Structure formats: C-alpha cells, structure tokens
Amino acid sequence: MAKKRDVAENIKDTAGSAFETMHNALEATENMAMNAVDATKKAVNNLTDDEQNK
C-alpha cells in the first residue's frame, strides 16, 4: 500500500508543480500585456500633448 501512496503523492506533486509553472507563465504574460498597454497609453498621451502644444 505504501508504494501506491508514494506513486499517488508523486503524481500529485508533479501536477502541482505543472500548475504552478503554468500559473507563473500566465502572470508573466499578463505583466507583459499590461506593460504594452501602459507603453501605448504613454505614447498616445505624448502625441496628444505634442499636438495640443502646437
């Protein structure tokens, strides 16, 4: 019975690690997307400000 439990625990640990890896990748993707949005906002604001100051 101990071997079955060890196998089950190993599967659980592996699944947990895989989930954590995917979660981290998703957070990294979200951060990159938000940085792109922030950069676009800044560029638009700079263009708008430049046009208003002419």
Question: pLDDT tens-digit profile of 2-54?
Answer: 677 899 999 999 999 999 999 999 999 999 999 999 999 999 999 988 666 65
Give the pLDDT of residue 35. Answer: 98
Widest pairwise Cα distance in the chain: 80
Q: State the Cα–Cα distance between residues 6 and 29, nearest whole angstrom.
A: 34
Give the pLDDT of residue 14. Answer: 96
Q: State the Cα–Cα distance between residues 53 and 37, nearest whole angstrom.
A: 24
The single residue listed with the structure tokens 């208003």 is: 52
Give the pLDDT of residue 19. Answer: 97
Hey, CA dihedral for 26, 29, 34, 35, is it positive or negative?
A: positive
Could you give the residue ranges of the DSSP H alpha helices within the chain? 2-52
Give the pLDDT of residue 1. Answer: 59
Give the pLDDT of residue 50. Answer: 67
